[in-house]
Amino acid sequence: MAEGYCVKCKTKKEIAEAVEETLKNGRKAIKGKCPTCGTVMFKMLGGRLVASAPSSPSAVDPAASTETSTETP
């Protein structure tokens, strides 16, 4: 089950007839269509969603990794 954004309905929709594809750059994506209007939807998979280009090399926050490693007592 995959969810994507339909530009025509301007809302999130569950991608109908979703097919997983691997792009040339090795990334995976889901391709399908909007169940409501049939507009082709495309959702990138894998990796982190980078909305903006990293402006500083110190993007890795050590405090963030500490939060995720709370399994260790």
Residue 33 and residue 72: Cα distance in Å, rounded? 43
**Segment near Zn ion (CB under 5 A), from 6-14, 24-32, 45-53, 61-69?**
6-14
Residue 9 in contact with Zn ion, rule: CB under 5 A: yes
Residues within window 16-55 making contact with Zn ion, judged by CB under 5 A: 34, 36-37, 39
In the complex with Zn ion, the residue whose CB is nearer, 22 or 36, is 36
Smallest distance, Å, CB 8 to Zn ion?
Answer: 4
7 CB neighbour count, 10 Å cutoff: 12
Q: Nearest to Zn ion by Cβ — which residue?
A: 34
15 CB neighbour count, 10 Å cutoff: 23
Query: 46 — alpha (psi -120 to 50), left (phi > 0) or beta?
Result: left
In the complex with Zn ion, the residue whose CB is nearer, 37 or 44, is 37
